[in-house]
């Protein structure tokens, strides 16, 4: 069966293949470098496509449909130094870093992913 949106997102965040999306806040949030994500993920064509979407707007609509909430940049500094530095570097490159939170999407509780349902 095809993976649902939350599973695809999970695989992506866990993968080393993507530089534009990562766990933030100790695995409680998803951080997305908007500019890079557009290029790296939404720009893919053919069998390489991850989501059947090609605009940030559609992607963020999916995030909202699955109960992800956007957080402000200042909600919390990253726990780890490498993560903090990556975020600072990305921020200084004038890329917008978006933070999304979903109680069912947590690195320490993979079993909760099943409860991440479309509204």
Supply the pTM of this predicted model.
0.82
Mean pLDDT by 10 residues, the chain (119 residues): 88 93 91 92 90 92 96 63 70 76 96 94
pLDDT at 13: 95
pLDDT at 66: 97
Domains of the chain, with CATH numbers? Answer: 5-112 (1.10.10.10)
Pairwise CA distance, residues 90 & 119, whole Å: 32
Left (φ > 0), alpha (ψ -120 to 50) or beta: where does 87 sit? Answer: alpha
Tell which residue, 38, 13, 18, has the closest CA to residue 28. Answer: 13
Greatest distance between any 2 Cα atoms in the chain: 41
Q: Which pair of structure tokens corresponds to residue 9?
A: 């997102």
pLDDT at 72: 75
């Amino acid at each position: 069966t095809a993976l649902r949106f939350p599973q695809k997102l999970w695989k992506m965040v866990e993968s080393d293949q993507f530089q534009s999306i990562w766990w933030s806040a100790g695995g409680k949030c998803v951080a997305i470098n908007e500019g890079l994500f557009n290029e790296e993920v939404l720009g893919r064509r053919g069998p390489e496509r991850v989501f059947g979407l090609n605009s940030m707007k559609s992607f963020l609509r999916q995030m909202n449909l699955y109960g992800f909430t956007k957080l402000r940049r200042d909600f919390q500094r990253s726990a780890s130094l490498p993560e903090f530095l990556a975020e600072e570097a990305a921020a200084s490159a004038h890329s917008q870093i978006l933070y999304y939170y979903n109680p069912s999407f947590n690195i320490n509780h993979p079993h909760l992913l099943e409860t991440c349902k479309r509204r």
